[in-house]
Amino acid sequence: MTRLPDHLSILERDLRGIFADRLHSLIVYGLHASASPDRPQAAHAAHAEPRTSTLAIIASMREPDLKVCAEHISAWHGAGLATPLLLASGEFERSLDAFPLEFGAIIADYAVVSGPDPFAALTVDPADLRRACEVQARSHLLHLRQGFVETAGNGNALAMLTVRSAAPFAALVTSVARLQGLVTHDQAAAGRHAERQLQLAPGTVTEVVKLTQVADISAAEATRLFSPYLDATERLVQYVDGWGTA
């Protein structure tokens, strides 16, 4: 980055003041990683859009360091920053197999704010990514089945289940897209990709993904959506379970 947005400059300055030369690298990742460095975020960004995600690689951390970080957190949040991830040197590499989805998403879409690039030579093992996707998919399927039984046939309860499960379903669809090589922050695009790969009718996945933007739906709408939603989740489980075996 040639010129840092103000909120990243503030974070880098604060972390440097806390950790001094123990701060090796500061990374911005996710939605804001490709934002123009010449276009600073507005001060109200925390309310208008997701907060900017960052990660700091630090040689060593002690409790007093974390206490000082805690003193800055209100200002960081107010500037539109998410709470930074603080990792000790080497911790990210050793955790890739444990968090292939989360850390894989970071190394797929990041920019260096300061210091050396800590991820240049890192890749996620496809087997670890597939396994994590399977765990995510099977867990979601079990949740939907159990949740449906617990509605006891009540349409309003089904509507609540459908809306509340939409965000984790969108995350699942995005993870499976990344398994297939598609890295995107557009959950609707990931949903359309899933529909093509699973040979589902257009809207089967994307209609559920869109529910991440609403607070509630009618009982009739939930009844219409749930059966194809459950079927799509079952197909995702089958797809991920057999991925790479052909």
- Which residues have a Cβ under 8 Å from the Cβ of 98 and sit 6 or more positions away? none
Residues 230 and 133 occupy one common structural domain: yes
Question: Is 146 in the same domain as 197?
Answer: yes
pTM score, whole prediction: 0.78
Provide the number of structural domains found in the chain. Answer: 2
Contacts 24+ apart (CB under 8 A), 61-66: 61/19, 61/22, 61/86, 61/88, 65/18, 65/19
Task: Decide the pairing of beta strands 110-114 and 23-29.
Answer: antiparallel
If asked whether residues 230 and 162 sit together in one domain, one would say yes
Answer whether residue 1 is part of any domain.
no
Q: Domain limits at 231?
A: 126-242
In a domain, 186, yes or no: yes
In order along the chain (246 residues), what is the average pLDDT of each group of 10 residues?
78 97 96 51 46 96 96 96 96 93 90 95 92 95 98 97 97 91 88 95 96 95 97 96 74
- Domain final residue pick, 69, 92, 114: 114
pLDDT, residue 245, reads 61
For residue 87, tell me if it sits in a domain: yes
Contacts (Cβ under 8 Å, ≥6 apart) of 153: none
Return the pLDDT at 217. Answer: 97
For helices 219-242 and 155-164, angle between their N-to-C axes, nearest 10 degrees? 40
Domain final residue, candidates 114, 138, 156: 114
Same domain, 58 and 134: no
Residues 131 and 232 in one domain: yes
Residue where one domain finishes, among candidates 114, 144, 160: 114
Phi-psi domain of 139 (left: phi exceeds 0; alpha: psi -120 through 50; beta: other): alpha
Give the tokens for residue 93. Answer: 């590499």
CATH code of the domain containing 95: 3.30.460
Contact (Cβ atoms closer than 8 angstroms) between residue 24 and residue 58: yes
Verify that 163 and 189 share a domain, yes or no.
yes
Does a structural domain hold residue 20? Answer: yes
With respect to residue 205, please indicate whether it lies within any of the assigned structural domains.
Answer: yes
Distance between start and end Cα atoms, the chain = 42
Together in a domain, 215 and 149: yes
